[in-house]
Amino acid sequence: MAYKISDTCVACGTCKPECPVEAISEGTPYKIDPAKCIDCGVCSTVCPVNAISAG
């Protein structure tokens, strides 16, 4: 199941370069493309506001 970014995202950009499959796009909040997400969880480990969780 793909990871999701909640409305608590502050659009800091920390997660985007960490995604190995480039599934994260900019916005407020940022978005994760569920078709590209491989469930690795790297994005959730680097999020400073814990806005990313397993879908």
- The predicted pLDDT at position 55 comes to 85
The pLDDT tens digits of the residues spanning 12-42 come to: 999 999 999 999 999 999 999 999 999 999 9
- The predicted pLDDT at position 1 comes to 79
Rounded Cα distance, 10 and 26, in Å: 11
At 34, is the secondary structure helix, strand, or coil?
Answer: coil
Look up the CATH number of domain 1-41.
Answer: 3.30.70.20
Domain map (residue ranges) of the chain: 1-41
Q: DSSP label at 29?
A: S
Cis amide linkage into residue 29, ω under 30° from 0: yes
Choose between 1 and 7: higher pLDDT: 7
